[in-house]
Homo-oligomer: A and B are copies of this chain.
Amino acid sequence: MTAVQNAIVTQDRLLDMQRRMHEIRLFEETVMGWFSRALVRGSTHLYQGQEAVAVGVTSALRHGDTTTCTYRGHGTVLAQGAPLDRSFAEILGKANGLCGGKGGSMHLTDFSVGALGSFAIVGAHLPISVGAGWAAQLLGTGAVSATFFGDGAANIGTFHEALNLAGVWKLPVLFVIENNLYGEYSPITATTANPNLVERAASYGMPGVRIDGNDVVAVFEAAAAAVDRARAGDGPTLLEAMTYRHSGHSRSDPAKYRPAGELEEWLARDPLVVAERRLRDMGVGQDELDQLRADATARVSDAAERAMSWPDPKPEDRLDDVWVNR
């Protein structure tokens, strides 16, 4: 398929994207509630506000393609099709969570849908997707790998090494910057000499495209073009999706560092609102849109209940999964 054909967003396709965005939004709100009730320990990093990036990009992928993402990765893994209940279960540390409770919120992984993993070390996953791309090139599978990372991650060494290697080997990789304007608390301008991250693509001999990360259609179209390019053997693309996280960096962050009004501005461009507007323009009725959300709500709360009811791992389970054979 060419980018153009690929990029035609039918009403059904957009409804499906909206469904997944709703599920991710509700999933994250549920997790947020659990944390405030101390049902989950450690740290968590939520994706509300960035749903269009994960959903738009993964919608341009096909079976056999892979992703890697960050500790803020619930949305990406769900967008790729990981089951809601086992994703919840992993965050709750249940025995049949996606990773058997060994990884937790920062490590959601589901090989069965091509989600190679969420990484807790900033930047560590970029070379992993480069390797997946190398395998695709060598084995001629035509598979594409997409790696999601933040604006802050663009300043760590692995970013540089991964993009240069993918560029010089012309690997089928999508580098997706989720630029939400902040690292943990530092605004990008305080940490980045040239905050126009998309311009870095030139250093790596690949095209760079900056997109509205809150418009799932814009994200999808840009991703589809990059995917076609990768499948055609023309190499990687750097996508910079401009977006915003509605909550703080992690549960412990009230996000006081944000200028007044910034959040409100972005809430007005909430990816769910943007997509709903598009759907209405396509002639989808309000009741259908409400039904879509209601169904998502039901699915998510069922999954949450199911996950809650599942058993904890046994202490001795900690000794498994270090080795394949020993």
Interface residue? A260 (CB, 8 A): no
A100 to B155, CA, bound (A): 38
Q: Determine which of B158, B164, B191 lies in contact with A193 in the assembled complex, contact meaning CB atoms within 8 Å.
A: B164
Is residue A167 contacting chain B, with contact meaning CB distance below 8 A?
A: yes
Looking at the assembled complex, report how far the CB atom of A8 sits from the nearest CB atom of chain B, in whole angstroms. Answer: 32
How far apart sit A203 and B160, CA to CA, in the bound complex (Å)?
11
Tell me, rounded to whole Å, the shortest Cβ–Cβ distance linking A303 to chain B: 40
A157 close to B161 (CB less than 8 A): yes
Within 8 A of B (CB), among A184-241: 190-194, 199-200, 202-206
A155 closest partner in B (C-beta) = B164
> Residues of B contacting A157 with CB < 8 Å?
156-158, 160-161
Partner pick for A204 among B158, B164, B194, CB 8 A cutoff: B194
* B192 touching A168, Cβ below 8 Å: yes
- Residue A159 at the chain B interface, CB threshold 8 Å: yes
Please name all residues of chain B whose beta carbon is closer than 8 Å to the beta carbon of A163 when the two chains form the complex: 193
Q: Which of A103-130 contact B (CB under 8 A)?
A: none
Nearest-Cβ distance from residue A23 to partner chain B, whole angstroms = 37
In the bound complex, residues from chain B placing their C-beta under 8 Å from that of A205 are 193-194
- 0/1 interface trace, chain A 8-30, chain B, CB 8 Å (1 if under): 00000000000000000000000
Q: Chain B residues near A203 (CB, 8 Å)?
A: 193-194, 199-200, 202-203
Q: Quote the shortest CB–CB distance from A124 to chain B (angstroms).
A: 12
Cβ-defined contact, B193 with A168, below 8 A: yes
Chain copies in the assembled complex: 2
Query: In the assembly, what is the distance between CA of A163 and CA of B167, in Å?
Result: 20
Residues 18-76 of A contacting B (Cβ, < 8 Å): none
Which residues of chain B are near A192, meaning CB under 8 Å? Answer: 164, 168
Nearest CB in chain B: distance from A208 CB, A: 11
Are B168 and A161 in touch, CB under 8 angstroms? Answer: no
A141-167 to B contact mask, C-beta < 8 Å, 1/0 = 000000000000001111111011011
Collect the chain B residues with CB atoms within 8 Å of residue A164's CB. 155, 192-193
With A and B bound together, what is the CA distance between A155 and B205 in angstroms?
13
Residues of B within 8 A of A199 (CB): 202-203
The residues of B that contact A155 with a CB separation of less than 8 Å are: 160-161, 164
**A193 nearest in chain B by CB position:** B167
Closest CB of chain B to A61's CB: distance in Å? 24
CA distance A156 to B159 in the complex (A): 10
The CA of A160 and the CA of B160, in the complex, are separated in Å by: 6
Residues of B within 8 A of A156 (CB): 157, 160-161
Most chain B CB atoms below 10 A, which of A161, A166, A167, A194: A194
Q: Which residues 293-318 of A have a CB within 8 angstroms of B?
A: none
Which of A160, A163, A166, A205 has the most B CB atoms < 10 Å from its CB?
Answer: A160
Please give, as numbers and ranges, the residues of chain B lying within 8 Å of A191 by CB-CB distance: 168
Chain B nearest CB, measured from A88 CB (Å): 36
| Residue of B whose beta carbon sits closest to that of A197 | B203
Q: Can you list 8 A-B pairs with a CB-CB distance of less than 8 A?
A: A155-B161, A155-B164, A157-B158, A159-B160, A160-B161, A194-B203, A199-B202, A202-B203
